[in-house]
Structure 1
Amino acid sequence: MMTNTEPLLSVRDLAMSFPGRRRSAPVRAVDSVTFHVAQGETLGLVGESGCGKSTTGRTIVRLLEPTAGSVTYDGRDISHLSQRALKPLRKELQMVFQDPHSSLNPRQTVARIVSDPLLVQGSSAADGRKRAAELMELVGLIPEHIDRYPHEFSGGQAQRIGIARALATGPRLVVADEPVSALDVSVQAQIVNLMERLQRELGLAYLFIAHDLSVVKRVCDRVAVMYLGRIVEIGAKEEVYAAPAHPYTRALLSAVPLPDPAAERSRERITLLGDPPSPAAPPPGCTFHPRCPKAQEICRMEAPALRNTAPGPARQVACHFPETA
């Protein structure tokens, strides 16, 4: 997996807000998010639905214009580049979406869908069609099926087409937004295996957005946990899963089923109180404090910074009272 420690992507204090309804306060979907992804690395971005994972991914590839902060790709700040300036960089930054059928144009053939990114970059139709056939074979589909339409493929096959489209321009970084959550479990394993093989063969870096912690554990090198628009914990996969330091991370991991029935029955299950607050009206201080079993007065008054903490030199946690053992 990870082959280089130099950041290919650096995200610093990224924020993305949306206007509120009528005169209500803006919705701060992403709030001061900071992380990096190295060449050949897979960083998992996890959290509950609505925590800002997908918005973060879309802002990184500039499908959304960030409200604040910076996105640096390969040493260049792309946060506010014009669409014209972004065009040559889009070859190296691609995205795979959650629902394969809704992300593929039903009126276009697979040949056109997969070759479209190449046509935008100036390739001829003949070269695009040839490349589409090559990519179909690369992702495990029959090249002769490039003249079919998306509805003629299963969900897993359609996701392979989505991956082929993302690979058309030879990217270095792929943002995968819940790429297997809409698929059956058996098909999920096939897509995960495909993505791992493509990473080895092509040297890809992934930002892997998901809520399934079992899949993230299988795929990722490092894990970043989001809650209400902020990263509350980030570190190496082995460290985070073995000894989660943030109460929210501990609660998430306690909900992951264990393959051993005896261990599953005997372990502690952490149940969080209430529902996540609205990002339009987040609580003061630590946004997790209304649901946190360890919350104290300082948690209600002061938002904790994401800072290094044991165990692990690269482990960061945003908590006033993190677990350190």
Structure 2
Amino acid sequence: MTAAAPLLSVRDLRMTFPGRRGHSAPVRAVDGVSFDLAAGETLGLVGESGCGKSTTGRAIVRLLEPTAGSVVYDGRDISRLRQRALKPLRQELQMVFQDPHSSLNPRWTAARIIADPLLAQGRAAAGARRRAAELMELVGLLPQHLDRYPHEFSGGQAQRIGIARALATGPRLIVADEPVSALDVSVQAQIVNLMERLQRELGPAFLFIAHDLSVVKRVCDRVAVMYLGRIVEVGAKERVYAAPAHPYTRALLSAVPLPDPAAERVRERITLLGDPPNPAAPPPGCTFHPRCPKAREICRAEAPLLRIAAPGEARQVACHFPESSG
């Protein structure tokens, strides 16, 4: 039996922005990203701030126009579709943004915000409002608050409105861009619980963009680690967390607090040297080599390809000297 085709297939995706005035070098925010996402799966896209995670998500849903590469959704390359051809697919591709209040129109009521995608797809106003009331209840808000404005909701409630808006058209794929990072820890747990429940009940696939590896470990099936616009490791959550193959992944995971105080005191912490390089002037070879404790001459001269980490594994790593998967 052949494996089912992925719902989303991203190949060699690139996003290059012009340099700032006075600086001619362009910024390669996304530099050849490739991955697959199956229907109903949650893939975590993680890395330091500025590594290109959010830009990748926005390019996939065409809020940004990719410079190069392909984004194949359900067997169709959507990376170059004109807006008119893309419009019918918008109902299947939705996004949840990082800051709930800045992503909601302050002049619109919750009802209008949630119903807007339906109205854009031609739904009648009365039917769209009824659907908005159903979605308010689905995400744990009171339908009688439909006519409140965003400033009348807390951060967690506003994010629930953003999630309800994303769910309005029954999407098959949701890009969640740092959906809990702007919220208090207790509210983060509520939103994570909500997203897990909605996926069980409704079945959308999630591209979950985050820098909090504890949250990613809880909600994701697989993890892709980005560094300076490139994916350096991708694989099943259990394997990546238990035995990271890339030195950068090891360093990220060593900074995640452990719930056991005794284990926290004795575990190895990996401190990376310096800051991430300037994406307008990335170093030659492996872009991680200036901060890597394992770097050798080949790392300075040749960029490693993303390839199978070890025989019999599905995990891939872009490193000349990956850690043994043991």
Deviation at 1:310, TM superposition (A): 2.0
| Cα separation, 1, equivalents of 2:185 and 2:312 | 33
Deviation at 1:6, TM superposition (A): 3.3
In the alignment, structure 1 residue 10 sits paired with structure 2 residue 1: no
Q: Structure 1 unaligned segments of length 5 or more: list them.
A: none
| Cα separation, 2, equivalents of 1:272 and 1:249 | 11
Q: What SS is found at the alignment partner of 2:102?
A: helix
Aligned pairs for 1:1-325 within 5 A: 6-22=5-21, 23-310=23-310, 313-324=313-324, 325=326
AA matched with 2:194: L
Q: What SS is found at the alignment partner of 1:71?
A: strand
AA matched with 1:14: L
| Cα separation, 2, equivalents of 1:15 and 1:197 | 33
| Cα separation, 2, equivalents of 1:51 and 1:108 | 33
Q: What SS is found at the alignment partner of 1:11?
A: strand
Q: What SS is found at the alignment partner of 2:71?
A: strand
Maintained 8 Å contact 1:232/1:317: yes
AA matched with 1:18: F
Deviation at 1:311, TM superposition (A): 6.9
| Cα separation, 2, equivalents of 1:312 and 1:121 | 46
Provide the TM-score with structure 2 as the length reference.
Answer: 0.97
| Cα separation, 2, equivalents of 1:261 and 1:123 | 54
**CA 1:236–1:160: 2 relative to 1, 3 Å:** same
Q: Which runs of 4+ in 1 moved over 3 A?
A: none
Question: How many residues in Structure 1 have an aligned counterpart in Structure 2?
Answer: 322
Q: Percent identity?
A: 86
AA matched with 1:185: V
Q: What SS is found at the alignment partner of 1:257?
A: coil
Task: Provide Cα deviations, 1:8-43, integer angstroms capped at 9, x if missing partner.
Answer: 000000000000023511100001100011001000
**CA 1:195–1:156: 2 relative to 1, 3 Å:** same
| Cα separation, 1, equivalents of 2:259 and 2:265 | 11
RMSD over aligned CA atoms reads: 0.9
Q: What SS is found at the alignment partner of 2:280?
A: coil
AA matched with 1:28: R
Q: Structure 2 unaligned segments of length 5 or more: list them.
A: none
